[in-house]
A = this chain, B = another copy of it.
Amino acid sequence: MPLSGDLFIGTSRARTAATFRAVAPATGQPLEPAFAGAGTEEVDRACRLAARAFTGYRALAPDERARFLEAIADAIMGLGDELIERAHLESALPRERLSGERGRTVNQLRLFADELRAGGWLGLRIDPALPERTPLPRPDLRQRRIPLGPVAVFGASNFPLAFSVAGGDTAAALAAGCPVVAKGHPAHPGTGELVAQAIVAAARDCNMPEGVFSLLNGESHELGAALVAHPAIRAVGFTGSRRGGLALVKIASERPEPIPVYAEMSSVNPVLLLPGALERRAEAIAEGYVASLTLGVGQFCTNPGLVFGIAGPALDRFASAAAGALAGIAPGTMLTAGIHAAYEEGVRRLRQHPRVELLAEGTEPAGPACGRAALFAVAGEDLAADPSLAEEVFGPSSLIVRCRDADELLALVTGLEGQLTMTLHLEDSDEALAARLLPALEQKAGRIIANGWPTGVEVAHAMVHGGPFPATSDGRTTSVGTLAIERFLRPVCYQNLPQALLPPELRDDAPPRPRRVDGAWRLD
């Protein structure tokens, strides 16, 4: 099916006079077709439709929503190579990577479908009545979680499938029972349209309420602002820049009725190389580091942008091996010209910093938007004097921090902003130091990794892809893994309701689901 460039408002299509085109980053050339840009009228239509869909959608049995998620997964797979080719054209990401990302996207939908059926997300609690209690009887109290309402999802540039139109936020919101109004990222509107086709087809096949999903496109900031400000929208999922995320948080907090914004914004994912590990395997760690740093031209939220070690021969061996490996890395095409320009600017800032040393660069760029890897080093005291050196440079650039001793290492980590991840490389001999560092790492990050790399975020039950501000706007949650569903839910208590009026899962004859009865866990 050829791409239409239409907006998807429920199952209807819409066109507008304002159009834009995707640009192939590898060539800098615009791509067909022209895509309609949504204005406030389309925002209003999509949001009102979502509000109408909400009543019916949230009332569906969890199994019905699970089947919808699975149908979306099947429909995405049904798009076949066309999806991979278009995503490749629009993002310059390799086909193999995109194929893997597609797998992650559909597995995520299927995992959330399983979670819907398992029912732990319902948060069921029952405190039976105690009619004989003195001085006052206790009423019958039953609690479950219900969905917040329509969710606005902002697609990310760097995951055209897994964090975009049918990505993690959409999967979590739909699982929770919330209709989704997606704002596609303007860098990959064709990919977004194909995925929207799949979602709309699945919604039709599963008889979902009209408006359970809409896709709005556009390049203007006004579009996103109007979406977040719309009264029908009850929560926001966003992955992108700090500036963009904070702008949405501000709009959401200034609404007559404020709403939660789950914005994943920026992280340099500090890596701490402890002395025993450096001593024993500096070169092997350097190899893993450069691979993680340059993977996908460094365009991951979990890219290791900051590495700490205690100055000495072992850290020198590490830096030298990393520099050697990085010097052989060929530049890859970045996602957009804008991302490339921002990367160049970030690297230029580090190069020109009087206290920062350039250790190595990748090979010469061959194309228009190629990101050349760069490795820098700085002394711990210079980072302490200029904390802006720890700001994210989105792309394959990283900074090695040579600390005077363990005390300085701990002080520097304690002074960092909130992060998605913190990584330790350690041997048994490092455990005492690691134990000393751990409380600070926990305070700063959502995930702590030992002897690995932060890139590669497993979609699982125990994953946390989140962290204290400014890694995210709300460190109490995760945007990856089944816990993400809970972001879009809130608890409701039913006191003395007749059985017939209770939600099915709270009735005495409900099929067994995990629940707490008088505080005690019950599974049967």
User: Using a CB–CB distance below 8 Å, which chain A residues touch chain B?
Assistant: 55, 58-59, 100, 114-115, 118, 120, 125-127, 135-136, 138-139, 141-143, 146, 148-149, 249, 253, 257-258, 260, 418, 426, 428, 431, 434-435, 438-439, 442-443, 445-452, 456, 458, 460-464, 466, 468-470, 473-478, 482-483, 489-498, 500-501, 514, 516, 518-521, 523
Say whether A493 contacts B447, CB under 8 Å: yes
The distance from the CB of A33 to the nearest CB of chain B, in whole angstroms, is 35
Say whether B500 contacts A448, CB under 8 Å: no
Copies of this protein, total: 2
Say whether B447 contacts A495, CB under 8 Å: yes
* A460 in contact with B127 given A118-B519, A446-B491, A492-B448 (CB within 8 Å): yes
In angstroms, Cα B146 to Cα A443, docked, is 9
Contacting residues, chain B, for A448 (C-beta < 8 A) = 492-495, 497
Contacting residues, chain B, for A445 (C-beta < 8 A) = 492
The distance from the CB of A36 to the nearest CB of chain B, in whole angstroms, is 32
In angstroms, Cα B119 to Cα A520, docked, is 10
Say whether B491 contacts A464, CB under 8 Å: yes
Say whether B460 contacts A141, CB under 8 Å: yes
* A496 in contact with B258 given A120-B516, A519-B118 (CB within 8 Å): no
Pick 5 A–B contacts, CB within 8 A, sort by A. A118-B519, A435-B500, A448-B497, A450-B497, A466-B490
* A125 in contact with B461 given A258-B473, A456-B136, A478-B491 (CB within 8 Å): yes
The distance from the CB of A479 to the nearest CB of chain B, in whole angstroms, is 12
In angstroms, Cα B466 to Cα A36, docked, is 42
A506: nearest residue on chain B (CB-CB)? Answer: B462
The 8 residue pairs across chains A and B that have the minimum distance between CB atoms? A464-B493, A141-B462, A125-B462, A143-B462, A449-B495, A447-B493, A127-B462, A127-B460
In angstroms, Cα B468 to Cα A148, docked, is 9
Contacting residues, chain B, for A141 (C-beta < 8 A) = 458, 460-463
Cβ contact of A447, chosen from B115, B469, B492, cutoff 8 A: B492
The distance from the CB of A468 to the nearest CB of chain B, in whole angstroms, is 8
In angstroms, Cα B127 to Cα A461, docked, is 7
Contacting residues, chain B, for A520 (C-beta < 8 A) = 118
* A521 in contact with B519 given A143-B462, A439-B59, A495-B450 (CB within 8 Å): no
Say whether B462 contacts A142, CB under 8 Å: yes
Cβ contact of A466, chosen from B473, B474, B491, cutoff 8 A: B491
Contacting residues, chain B, for A58 (C-beta < 8 A) = 439
The distance from the CB of A187 to the nearest CB of chain B, in whole angstroms, is 27
Say whether A461 contacts B516, CB under 8 Å: yes
Say whether A490 contacts B476, CB under 8 Å: yes
Q: A438-B501, A464-B491 are in contact. List 6 more A-B contacts (CB 8 A).
A: A125-B461, A126-B462, A139-B449, A141-B458, A257-B418, A466-B490
Say whether A501 contacts B462, CB under 8 Å: no
Say whether B519 contacts A461, CB under 8 Å: yes
Say whether A519 contacts B136, CB under 8 Å: no
The distance from the CB of A160 to the nearest CB of chain B, in whole angstroms, is 20
Contacting residues, chain B, for A495 (C-beta < 8 A) = 447-450, 452
Contacting residues, chain B, for A466 (C-beta < 8 A) = 490-491
In angstroms, Cα B434 to Cα A494, docked, is 13
Say whether B469 contacts A258, CB under 8 Å: yes
Say whether A476 contacts B260, CB under 8 Å: yes
The distance from the CB of A173 to the nearest CB of chain B, in whole angstroms, is 14
Contacting residues, chain B, for A450 (C-beta < 8 A) = 494-498, 501
The distance from the CB of A108 to the nearest CB of chain B, in whole angstroms, is 14
Contacting residues, chain B, for A461 (C-beta < 8 A) = 125, 127, 141, 143, 516, 518-519
A448: nearest residue on chain B (CB-CB)? Answer: B494
Contacting residues, chain B, for A446 (C-beta < 8 A) = 490-493
Say whether B464 contacts A492, CB under 8 Å: yes
Contacting residues, chain B, for A100 (C-beta < 8 A) = 135
Most chain B C-beta atoms within 10 Å of own C-beta, residue among A126, A139, A418, A478: A139
In angstroms, Cα B439 to Cα A125, docked, is 20
Say whether A120 contacts B518, CB under 8 Å: no
In angstroms, Cα B518 to Cα A426, docked, is 27
Contacting residues, chain B, for A497 (C-beta < 8 A) = 448, 450
Contacting residues, chain B, for A521 (C-beta < 8 A) = 120, 514, 521, 523
In angstroms, Cα B170 to Cα A411, docked, is 31
Contacting residues, chain B, for A501 (C-beta < 8 A) = 431, 434-435, 438, 450
Contacting residues, chain B, for A474 (C-beta < 8 A) = 260
A55: nearest residue on chain B (CB-CB)? Answer: B439
A253: nearest residue on chain B (CB-CB)? Answer: B253
The distance from the CB of A120 to the nearest CB of chain B, in whole angstroms, is 7
